[in-house]
Structure 1
Amino acid sequence: MRIDKYLWCIRYFKTRSMASNACKKGQVKVNDQVVKPSREVYATDKIELRKDQINYTIIVNDIPPSRIGAKLVDLYRTDTTPKEAFEAKELLKYSKDYYRKKGTGRPTKKDRRDIDDFYETPEEDI
């Protein structure tokens, strides 16, 4: 089976073209060699894959007949990715600035309500 089809079948990519593009960009290695999307995959091959800033390491157990359900994925691959890779991604979440800084961009709904409350004049004064 082709490497792009295999990665799609075991649900590492949503579409086969995404798997193919990852191979073309050099993000997929089989037995420590960068491969093209048409490279054949066999049992006991070691696949290294970079996706979402995580370097996955997969060992091929068997070749699936077609795309399989998420519960059956472990029959066809063994994931040997170290836990440190996932922890590093968690740390990246904390380093990013998710909230916009004051004075930049459109106000949020809460900001708009606070502004309305600030400028709202009591009806008694009128």
Structure 2
Amino acid sequence: MESTRVDRWLWAVRLVKTRPDAAAACRGGHVRINDRPAKPATPVVPGDEVRVRVHHVNRIVEVTRVIQKRVGAAEAAGCFVDHTPPPPAMPLLPVARRERGAGRPTKKERRVLDAWRTGQP
């Protein structure tokens, strides 16, 4: 059965930008393989579930193919199955509108706008 280092695999399938970033994520505790903390040299094999936190987003992927060299994005996408849940829907915020040519807001209007932007009453 073929295996490779998790830091190398994360870089090869383009989940992280550089291999040192992948190693740093492993050392920082942001990578788990089958719900176990992973060091950079931890081997991954097809069928493993890899959880990685990248740019404040938790990604859950299943390894389908092990590669060691960085390949094109289309080929890299075929090396894993993404099980990451979709992000929660953001509530729509109303857009503040002013009449065209109304000039600068008054102090009272400015306080109302600032309160609306910060969410304070």
Change (3 A) 1:51 1:2: same
| Structure 2 Cα separation of the partners of residues 6 and 53 of structure 1 | 20
Shift of 1:65: 4.3
Q: What aligned pairs does 1:16-27 form with structure 2 within 5 A after superposition?
A: 16-27=19-30
Match of 1:28 among 14, 27, 31: 31
**Contact between 2:16 and 2:54, CA under 8 Å: does it hold in 1?**
no
Aligned to 2:72: 69
Shift of 1:67: 0.7
Q: Is it true that 1:50 corresponds to 2:53 in the alignment?
A: yes
Whichever structure has more helix as a proportion of its residues is: 1
Larger RCO (CA under 8 A, 6+ residues apart): 2
Question: Unaligned 5+ residue runs, structure 2?
Answer: 94-121
Q: What aligned pairs does 1:1-126 form with structure 2 within 5 A after superposition?
A: 1-84=4-87, 87=88, 91=90
Shift of 1:74: 2.2
Shift of 1:12: 1.0
**Amino acid aligned to 2:70:** R
| Structure 1 Cα separation of the partners of residues 59 and 46 of structure 2 | 17
Please say which structure displays the higher CA radius of gyration: 1
| Structure 2 Cα separation of the partners of residues 64 and 21 of structure 1 | 20
| Structure 2 Cα separation of the partners of residues 65 and 3 of structure 1 | 10
Shift of 1:54: 1.0
Shift of 1:83: 0.3
**Amino acid aligned to 2:53:** R
Q: RMSD of the TM alignment (CA)?
A: 1.5
Aligned structure 1 segments of 4 or more residues deviating by more than 3 angstroms: none
Equivalenced residues, count: 88
Q: Secondary structure at the match of 2:8?
A: helix
**Identity of counterpart residues, as a percentage?**
33
